Structure 1
Amino acid sequence: MGLLERCEELFKTSNLYEVLGTTKEATEADIRRSYYKVSLKVHPDRAPEDPQATEKFQVLGKLYVVLSDKEQRAVYDEQGTVDEESDALSQDRCWEEYWRLLYPKITLQDILEFEKKYKGSDEERQDVIQLYVQHQGDMDAIMVSAMCSSQDDEPRLCAIIQAAIDSGDVASFPAFARESAKKKRARRKRADREREEAEEMQKEMGLGDEDDSLAMMLQQRQKSREQNFNSFLSDLEAKYAKKTPKSQKAKRGKK
């Protein structure tokens, strides 16, 4: 059974982009990020209750090989077919090793270094503006979703958003422009409460240096905002994953 047929059987669609939850217009980085997130959900170690998890994981690996190779992707986009006899798909490969080669585990030091470069960067500005538009100016949702941010960063993030509004880059949403003082106080209280809980945990565990403090902050964030914390790590791993290992090109002349 070919790759497209296996996708139909396991994911209820033979469209490779739909399997990843993306579109034909997706960039290489988008494909890599989407593959990571979908493969993470069906990873055999994370979905032991799914009897088809291993098969899904393997099929996703082959799918990614096709879409991450410019020539193979071009053929699929134009003809809607994949070269099943290409070396990349036909060779016997350990897809777990391939996946881990693409996505090495993120360490605390990686997060520290990323945070140092990320804050104040143009990349952060673009991400904040994207969150602003996505959540239509709801600062509660923006602050929960913004990477590497705490309540202390709110004035800075608001300034980024306001500058984008003033320049005409984005519209002014009422949720942002007319946010009540009561809602702002409630957000501050929640943040203060989370900080106090994290500090209590630090004292109980005898932690104090900068790295340990960050570790506690991340643990607290995972406890109270698990979905967004996991999303942050997923984005970080997918975004800064190693480049796709070059596979041998699809064989030419097949019909």
Structure 2
Amino acid sequence: MGLLERCQELFKTSNLYEVLGINKEASEADIRRSYYKVSLKVHPDRAPDDPRATETFQVLGKLYAVLSDKEQRAVYDEQGVVDEESDVLSQDRDWEDYWRLLFPKITVQDILEFEKKYKGSDEERQDLMQLYVQHQGEMNAITASALCCSQEDEPRLCSIIQAAIESGEVTAFPAFTQESEKKKRARRKRADRERQEAEEMQKEMGLDDQDSLVMMLQQRQKAREQNFNSFMSDLEAKYSQKSEKPQKSKRGKK
């Protein structure tokens, strides 16, 4: 059974983009990020009780291999077919090793170093502007989605947004400019509660500072995020090391 047929069987669609929840115009980064999020849900280590997890994981690996290869993607986009005999699919590959090569495990030190570089950077500002427009100034949604964001960061982020509004860079959404003090207090209380829960869990489990950082992130995302849009998955998908693609062997004509 070919890749498209297996996608139809497992995901009820033979459209490779639909399997990942993206469209045909998706960038390489979008494809990589979506592949990470979808494949992590069925990773054999994460879904040991699902008998079809390994098969589904392998199919997703092949799907990503096709869409991440410029030549294969071009053929699929133009003709709607996949070359099953191409080097991309025909080689004997361990798809779990391939996945780990694409997404090496992120350590606590990686998080700390990234946070240090990210905060105050142009990249953070660009991401913040995108979130502001996407959520039309709703700070609850913005702070829940922003990378490396804690309650202490909110005044700084609000200042960046306010400056962008005054310069005419972005629209002055009422949700931001007219946010009530009641909503701000509720957000602060929620942040304080999450921090307290993390500290209590740290004491109960005897965690050190690094372990407690991971626990705090998990606790925060459990309370705020949905649809697997977690800080850790965003960070791994966006900033994991890129694997080197093996050189393609030229196939002789039959």
Fold shared by both chains (TM-score > 0.5): yes
**Uncovered stretches (5+) of structure 1, i.e. residues with no partner:** none
CA 111–227 in structure 1, closer or farther in 2 if over 3 Å, else same: farther
Give the aligned CA root-mean-square deviation in angstroms: 2.5
How far apart are residue 165 of structure 1 and its match? 2.0
CA contact (8 A) 1:36 1:234 kept: yes
Aligned to 2:148: 148
Determine the C-alpha separation between the residues in 1 that align with 2:181 and 2:43. 45
- CA offset at residue 71 of structure 1? 1.3
Counterpart-to-counterpart distance in 1, 2:180 and 2:218? 30
Task: Answer whether contact 2:4 2:15 (CA < 8 A) is retained.
Answer: yes
Segment of structure 1 superposing worse, 225-234 or 154-163: 225-234
**Structure 2 Cα separation of the partners of residues 203 and 57 of structure 1:** 37
Secondary structure of the structure 2 residue equivalent to 1:81: coil
Query: Is it true that 1:185 corresponds to 2:185 in the alignment?
Result: yes
Structure 2 match to 1:103: 103
With CA pairs under 8 Å and 6+ residues apart, which has the higher RCO, 1 or 2? 1
- 2:120 is matched by which residue type in structure 1? G
Equivalent residues of 1:132, 1:142 under 8 A apart: yes
Structure 1 residue 135, shift from structure 2 partner? 1.9
- Contact kept, 8 Å, 2:144 with 2:225, in 1: the verdict is no
How far does residue 158 in structure 1 lie from its aligned partner after superposition? 0.8
Query: Which residue does the alignment assign to 2:66?
Result: 66
Amino acid across the alignment from 2:198: A
Matched to 1:123, the amino acid is E
TM-fit CA distance, 1:168? 2.6
- Report if the CA contact (8 A) 2:37-2:228 is conserved: no
User: Residue type of the partner of 1:57?
Assistant: F
SS in 1 for 2:31: helix
- The alignment-based identity, stated in percent, is 83
**1:212-223 maps to which residues of 2 (within 5 A)?**
214-215=213-214, 217-222=216-221
Alignment of structure 1 residues 125-140 onto 2, 5 Å: 125-140=125-140
1:2 aligns with 2:5: no
- State the partner residue of 2:238: 239
Q: Which amino acid in 2 is paired with 1:31?
A: I
User: Any conservation in 1 of the 2:143–2:149 contact (CA below 8 Å)?
Assistant: yes
CA distance in 2, matches of 1:248, 1:4: 25
Aligned length: 253
Contact persistence 1:83–1:250 (CA under 8 A): no
Structure 2: distance between partners of 1:10 and 1:190: 40
Contact 2:102 2:240 in 1 (8 A): yes
In structure 2, do the counterparts of structure 1 residues 120 and 14 end up closer, same or farther at CA, with 3 Å as the change threshold? same
CA contact (8 A) 1:88 1:247 kept: no
1:42 is displaced (CA, Å) by 1.7
* Structure 1 position 103, deviation (Å): 0.7
Runs of 5+ unmatched residues, structure 2:
none
**Between 39-48 and 240-249, the greater mean CA deviation after superposition:** 240-249
Structure 1 contact 43–53 (Cα < 8 Å) conserved: yes
Residues 1-40 of structure 1, C-alpha deviations (whole Å, 9 max, x = no match)? 2111111111111111111111111111111111111111
- Pick closer, same or farther for the CA change 1:3–1:76 going to 2, 3 Å: same
Q: Report if the CA contact (8 A) 1:88-1:248 is conserved.
A: no
CA gap of 1:85–1:250, structure 2 versus 1, over 3 A, is farther
